Structure 1
Amino acid sequence: MSSPLVKQVQARFSMAGAFASAMLLAISLSAHADDSRLSLADRVSQLEQAVQNRTQAGIEQVNRIQDLQSQVQQLQGQVEELQHQLQQAGEQGKAQYVDLDSRLGRLEAGNGASGGNAQKPVQAAVAPAAQAASAAPAASAAPATPAADPAQAQAAYNAAFTALRGGQYAQASRLFRDFIQQYPDHALTPNAFYWLGESYYVTMNYQVAHDAFAHLLSAFPKSEKAPDAMLKLGYTQVELKQTAAAVATLKAVSRQYPGSNAASLAQERLRRLQLSGGQG
């Protein structure tokens, strides 16, 4: 049998072991609680960092979109300028079709080098019919023939228009002048003046084209070709560096023929003039 002393010692050792176990358990629980708190804090920090990163990414994306929009606007402006240059190059390419007849037509106009109306607005360009008629491209040297029947007149007009559509601009201008000379009071005469102006415009005989369009507006102000003639008159003034007159003419197109295709084109040309500082 164990002595009371041994039992007492054993009891003390048992209590000491229990106390030690309890202490270890408390330390372990405390450490686990600290680890849990640290982990939660880390998670909150990570979430905050993720939100911040996403916010920054969103801001960067908005900035990139704004940069792209700005680049698109710049590219649109460049495309418009290239289109204008391409149009100019095409017109210059068409000049190869010009022969002695087109030069003769400019001389016949009488004021191809005058430039006296450089700063006159459209009201001056569409002055009284007698004044504009003196500036209009003259007919060919052939004498006027008596008015033929309607079929002959239509055939003559069709021949001139076919030449124009085929790129035979010198021939077209000659045929349209002949038509105007032979049929000055025909219903198609205003159209003939318009296409005569076009035949000179595409071959860069801008002064003669100017005179044809101006005469149409003066002699046939109610013609269905009047809006387009006024628009092209403004175009020729741009090419002739008559900027003030061109602006006045193009504004008059929008004012007198609102809602028309000519008015829309006039507004576009005015916008291009403003963007280019008045250089067309």
Structure 2
Amino acid sequence: MTVLMAAALSAAILVPGLARAQSSPSLAEQVQQVQMQLQSAQQGTLSLLNRIDTLEQESRAQQGQIELLQHRIQQLEQQQKDQYLVLDARLRKLEQNAAPVATAASDAAAPAAGVNNPASVGAPASAQPTAATAKPPATGPASVTPAEQAAAQQTAYDNAFAFLRNGDYAEASRRFRAFLQRYPHASLAPNAAYWLGESYYVTGNYQVALDTFHRLLTQYPQSDKSRAALLKLGYCQFELKQYANASSTFNRLIATYPGTEEAHLAADRLRAIPQQSSGG
């Protein structure tokens, strides 16, 4: 009886200990759980990074669309101004042409009135103006007015930009080159030079695009496109793996145009340079 009680007491002591040993995970299981948690965290981080990259790409695409819309608004405003100037020039021509017509009409009416004029009765026939002896008004090719010149430039520029907007970059580049050759000093020349460089950049011709943006900054340093051209110059250097030059260009942009959208984009690409250069 005593032996049975001792055995029962031992079982009562060992059973809870065994239960606790079975319920607590082993060291290997704990390590496995930690590894699974780390893997899940890494996947979440990778997903977040991918999302951030996607958002940055979408932001750049939207920025490009905004720039195109802003440019189109400027085009429409310029077109309205040019149309007004052309209309004003045509009205002035009509007024100038109307004055000789009125003078000719009064001269034609003068002989009829001279029938009752005694002083004109005895005048010789050779003194009377006739259609054969009357001198015709001087005619010649009309000179191009500044308004018409501006309208012609705008039309050529719009045609080139239409090809760019429709994705025909080869034809767009050809037309922008022709525009710059014909109108190198036009007010739209810096814009044409910028979009010419853009047509090269989007097709991967980074060296040609780099030369184009550099030429824009040299020829038109005070233009509104200088800031965007400087950014694209850095982008071209980055794509060509000229990381030292790209870093210098981006730092120059940030220092010259602080707080601008181009400066923010330059800073983003500047942070990517060490990763690219170490990987290359």
Report TM bin, short chain. Answer: 0.5 to 0.7
Q: Is this contact kept in 1: 2:243–2:277, CA < 8 A?
A: no
Cα distance, 1:197 vs. partner?
0.6
Aligned ranges 1:59-98 → 2 under 5 Å: 59-70=31-42
User: Please, which of 14, 17, 21 is the counterpart of residue 41 of structure 1?
Assistant: 14
Question: Alpha carbons of 1:59 and 1:254: their partners in 2 closer, same or farther (altered >3 Å)?
Answer: farther
Name the structure, 1 or 2, with higher relative contact order (CA <8 Å, separation 6+).
1
1:256 match: 256
1:169 match: 169
Question: Alpha carbons of 1:59 and 1:242: their partners in 2 closer, same or farther (altered >3 Å)?
Answer: closer
| Separation in structure 2 between the aligned mates of residue 73 and residue 218 of structure 1, nearest angstrom | 44
Q: Is this contact kept in 1: 2:220–2:226, CA < 8 A?
A: yes
Question: Alpha carbons of 1:202 and 1:52: their partners in 2 closer, same or farther (altered >3 Å)?
Answer: closer
What runs of 5+ residues in structure 2 fail to find an aligned partner? Answer: 58-143
Question: Alpha carbons of 1:167 and 1:278: their partners in 2 closer, same or farther (altered >3 Å)?
Answer: farther
Matched, 1:213 2:226: no
More displaced 10-residue stretch of structure 1: 39-48 or 164-173: 39-48
Question: Alpha carbons of 1:175 and 1:217: their partners in 2 closer, same or farther (altered >3 Å)?
Answer: same
1:5 match: none
TM-score by length of 2: 0.53
1:50 match: 23
Cα distance, 1:70 vs. partner?
4.3
The higher radius of gyration belongs to 1
Query: Quick one: which amino acid aligns to residue 4 of structure 2?
Result: A
1:87 match: none
Q: Is this contact kept in 1: 2:227–2:253, CA < 8 A?
A: yes
RMSD of aligned residue pairs (Cα, Å): 3.7
Q: Deviations over 1:99-120 (max 9, x none)?
A: xxxxxxxxxxxxxxxxxxxxxx
Structure 2 counterpart SS, 1:277: helix
Aligned ranges 1:159-238 → 2 under 5 Å: 159-238=159-238
| Separation in structure 1 between the aligned mates of residue 279 and residue 253 of structure 2, nearest angstrom | 19
Q: Hey, which of these two has a bigger chunk of helix by percent? A: 2
TM-score by length of 1: 0.53
Question: Identity of counterpart residues, as a percentage?
Answer: 40
Structure 2 counterpart SS, 1:276: helix
| Separation in structure 1 between the aligned mates of residue 275 and residue 195 of structure 2, nearest angstrom | 30
